[in-house]
Amino acid sequence: HLNQFNVSTTLVVTLQNGLNDHEIGAILEYALKQRCVRGVTFQPTQVAGRNDDYNDQKGRITLTEVRRKIYEQYPTFTPQDLIPVPCNPDALCMAYALKIGDEVIPMTHLINPEDLLNNSKNTIVFEHDEKLKEHMLNLFSTGVSVDCAEDTFGELMCCLPRVKSDNLSYDNLFRIIIMNFMDPLDFDVRAVKKSCVHIVSDKYKMVPFETMNIFYRDHKIDTIREKLNMN
């Protein structure tokens, strides 16, 4: 029914080394054949919550390893197509492509990653950015050459704007995300301050997803503060 009614869909895959990391290419191949699928998000297993029989020494897979397996298992994408996201380059990597019929055309290699990291906004939600929509319309409507595309394309990386042109629409865009959520074994205070994904706690505070699972879920933070006499 999702394909029948073209309901915009993102497939989310939790990856574990030695369990399903060999299926990355097949997942992308399947996703790109579905009319309704706009992208795939790959998330390495986070050591938090239910992890029955999980062995971190064997099961952990890093963002870098996932990135490499994508272009090894689905060579349509190259290393230049999978680039860091400005708001949190340690934990987020993205690639964009156009779907035109049966053809898949990666696009993010058009961008200089240094320009992206230095100049883009600190966000992964650009749908409401009218300037970005204008850039996208210009890019898709005028058929600019690759060497002229960078200025128009420079802020695309962080989200799929809903744009229309004479020949292309939102349906033609496809996004790959690698989203690594830190856990107690790889926690980095510097990186968590850049987290792009937040949850509202029961005290109505915005909490990074990583710290929610590690400290706040099941009121763990109250016990920690009590032990530290910080109440």
pTM over 0.85: no
| 65-120 per-position pLDDT tens digit | 999 999 999 999 999 999 887 778 888 888 888 888 889 989 877 766 555 555 44
Residue 186 belongs to a domain: no
pLDDT at 128 over 60: no
Residue 3 belongs to a domain: no
pLDDT tier for residue 31 given thresholds of 50, 70 and 90: very high
Q: Are residues 67 and 125 in the same domain?
A: yes
Residue 65 belongs to a domain: yes
DSSP string, 6-64: T--EEEEEEE-TTTTGGGHHHHHHHHHT-TTEEEEEEEEPPSSS--TT--HHHH---HH
Q: Are residues 203 and 99 in the same domain?
A: no
Q: Specify the number of domains making up the chain.
A: 2
Nearest to 154 by CA among 110, 92, 196: 110
Q: So what's the pLDDT on residue 150?
A: 40
DSSP state of 2: T
Residue 85 belongs to a domain: yes
Q: So what's the pLDDT on residue 213?
A: 82
For the four alpha carbons of 120, 121, 124 and 125, in that order, the dihedral sign comes to negative
Q: So what's the pLDDT on residue 144?
A: 36
Residue 1 belongs to a domain: no
Residue 120 lies in domain: 9-179
